[in-house]
Amino acid sequence: MRPYYSTAHVKAAEAPLLASLPEGTLMRRAAYGLARIAADELRSRTGGIVGRRVTLLVGSGDNGGDALWAGAMLRRRGAAVIAVLLNPARAHSAGLAALLAAGGRVSPDPGNPDLVLDGIVGTSGKGSLRPAAAAIVARLDAPIVAVDLPSGVDPDTGAVDGPAVTAAVTVAFGALKPVHVLAAARCGRVELVPIGLDLPEPDLVALDATDVGRLWPVPGAADDKYTQGVVGVVAGSSRYPGAAVLSSGAAVTATAGMVRYAGRAATEVLNHWPEVVAAPSPREAGRVQSWVVGPGIGTDADALDELCTVLASDLPVLVDADGLNLLAARPELLRGRNAPTLLTPHAGEFERLARFAPAPDRVAATRELAEQWGVTVLLKGRATVIADPHDGVHVNEAGGSWAATAGSGDVLSGIVGALMATGLEPAVAAAVGARAHSLAANLGAQEGSEEVGDGGLAPISASVLLSHLRSAIRILRGYAAMS
């Protein structure tokens, strides 16, 4: 499990060390790790360090000091180092002295470097890059190593509201912060440099592949189709039969012991998935252990009746898509419901439910909706945020946006609903399912890349994603088996 800590918690953890250690010790620890990673990056990209050109973009905060100290270390290893001081009067004096003593130079011209160290804004900084800094960053085409976080990106929310750095590598000090998962596309590869912090409980957690593999239900010697989990799927309509096919197929593929389909697209579902047991409505479906309701059901009277029937049960329920639109108009349908409930909105559906947009602070917004409605909420996105009203927050960074395609949410609902039928709590099922879903999307994009001829990845559809789900589960289970 990978933990992420708010900047306030990291600063609180740093305070006793700053008070007990000689001045500058923590900064030099951080700078040593930064210099080592920057040197490795130079070697991998250019074949060496000696004679390579490194430009430091130095602001007035501690990140600027880290960059200066690291620049001094790189200069002593033979790199040519230039520091661009964006606020010369407030540059870190000891770090600047170390750089100059090592033979580094100060210049307003960033030159044509092989590598750039971004020390413009510290973790206390807020907002986008100022015009002078933005102009310099825009001129550079060298890879950037960000010092703790890419400048211009909010450290706690990952939000960007103007010019900001996009790094090839981000070197985090002491602890991973929310920015490193919520704005992963801006951070590039993230490297953590330990500096000896004693940290509290994390603000966010991400399950790693081994965690997901261990949590994925597998049949035991005494299991049968009922004990492995029976999930009911209420999805699709005459207008949107594909949603039923995708949701039901995902539930089948996610190793549900049985999938009972209860909706208006039974012919299409059975043509694709003959192992599904079909009924015309949830009232006639038979025994299930969780429900998925909403994908493609529409918002007419039949759809409302299906939603009401499912929510009236005492079983775990996942509500998605049209089910969410119906709930947005009738939130009272959840009033008094005590069984576990998971809502899985994208940003537009979230705004209809909550009456406010999830951005810029997607974590706080998801927490707020979960607490107000007394449900678990999965907010979709490249960084999927999952909040439980009684527990912490999970996040899944997909590693790409290949799942941003029509129907992929229907697949996700089937996966997570099947996991809930096995007894996993909604937040855990959501985190586990989201990880498998994103891996399946990435596998689909990689397979397609074989046909594009340039080494790039190819776009996928929801059907392609679903076709790679079984491989994704096998890979995740493999991590668990090797641990």
Per-residue pLDDT reduced to its tens digit, 123-144: 877 889 999 999 999 999 999 9
Across residues 294-303, what is the average pLDDT? Answer: 98
Last residue of a domain, one of 159, 187, 203: 203
Q: Tell me if 138 sits within 8 A of 112, measured CB to CB.
A: no
* pLDDT of 454 strictly over 80: no
Last residue of a domain, one of 150, 176, 203: 203
Please check whether residues 111 and 7 belong to one and the same domain: yes
Looking at the structure, tell me whether residues 198 and 335 fall in a common domain: no
Is 151 annotated among the ligand-binding residues? yes
- 169 and 227 share a domain? no
Residues 197 and 235 in one domain: no
Is the confidence at residue 322, as pLDDT, over 50?
Answer: yes
Is 92 annotated in a binding site? The answer is no
Say whether both 436 and 387 belong to one domain: yes
124 has binding-site annotation: yes
Shared domain for 184 and 219, answered yes or no, is no
How confident is the model over 26-47, as pLDDT tens digits?
Answer: 999 999 999 999 999 999 999 9
Does residue 425 have a pLDDT over 60? Answer: yes
What is the percentage of the chain residues whose pLDDT exceeds 70?
98
Listed residue (122, 116, 176) closest to 154, CA to CA: 122
Residue 300 counted as an annotated binding residue: no
208-244: pLDDT as tens digits = 999 999 999 998 898 889 889 999 999 999 999 999 9
For residue 454, give every residue at least 6 positions away whose Cβ sits within 8 Å of its Cβ, in sequence order, or none. none
Please report, for residues 98, 141, 163, 419, the alpha-carbon distance to residue 131 in angstroms, rounded to integers and kept in the order given.
28, 18, 8, 49
Does 243 carry a binding-site annotation?
yes
Would you say residue 450 has pLDDT above 70?
no
pLDDT tens digit sequence for 249-287 = 999 999 879 999 999 999 999 999 999 999 999 999 999
156 marked as part of a ligand binding site: no
Asked if 134 and 215 sit in the same domain, the reply is: no
The reply to whether 383 sits in an annotated binding site is yes
At 461, which amino acid appears? Answer: S
Q: Are residues 245 and 191 in the same domain?
A: no
Residue 126 labeled ligand binder: yes
Number of domains in the chain: 2
Residues 162 and 275 in one domain: no
Q: How far is CA 15 from the centre of its chain?
A: 29
Q: Is 159 marked within a binding site? A: no
- Domain limits for position 110: 2-203
- Model pLDDT, residue 452: 46
Task: Report DSSP letters for 14-63, one per residue.
Answer: HHHHHHHSPTTHHHHHHHHHHHHHHHHHHHHHHS-STT-EEEEEE-SSHH
- The pLDDT score that the predictor gives to residue 336 is 87
Say whether 232 counts as a known binding-site residue. no
The answer on whether 62 is annotated among ligand-binding residues is yes
User: Based on C-alpha coordinates, what's the Rg of the chain?
Assistant: 25
Predicted TM-score of the model (pTM): 0.95
Q: Tell me if 412 sits within 8 A of 433, measured CB to CB.
A: yes
Q: Are residues 107 and 243 in the same domain?
A: no
Predicted local confidence at residue 455, as pLDDT: 53
Has 128 been labeled as part of a binding site? yes
The whole-chain average pLDDT of the chain stands at: 95
66 belongs to an annotated ligand binding site: yes
Tokens of 254: 């996610």
Q: Which residues lie across from 341 on neighbouring strands?
A: 317
Q: Are 240 and 298 in contact (CB under 8 A)?
A: yes
CATH of the domain at 116: 3.40.50.10260
Q: Answer yes or no: is 118 a known binding residue.
A: yes
Q: Does 148 carry a binding-site annotation? A: yes
430 by Cβ neighbours in 10 Å (0-12 / 13-18 / 19+) ranks as: buried
pLDDT in tens, 171-205: 999 999 999 999 999 999 999 999 999 999 999 99
Question: Where does residue 129 rank: exposed (0-12), middle (13-18), buried (19+ CB within 10 A)?
Answer: buried
Confidence of residue 377 (pLDDT cuts 50, 70, 90): very high
Q: Is 305 annotated as a binding residue?
A: no
Mean pLDDT of the region 339-364: 98
Q: Within this chain, do residues 196 and 216 fall inside the same structural domain, yes or no?
A: no
122 is in an annotated binding site: yes
Is 409 one of the annotated binding-site residues?
yes
Which CATH number goes with the domain that contains 441?
3.40.1190.20
pLDDT at 456: 64
Out of 169, 203, 237, a domain closes at 203
The number of helices, as runs of H, and strands, as runs of E, in the chain is 18, 18
Q: At what angle do helices 62-76 and 25-46 cross, to 10 degrees?
A: 60
What percentage of the chain exceeds 90 in pLDDT? 91
pLDDT digits (tens, 9 = 90+) for 83-136: 999 999 999 999 999 999 999 999 999 999 999 999 999 887 788 999 999 999
Residues 213 and 152 in one domain: no
Per-residue model confidence (pLDDT) at position 449? 54
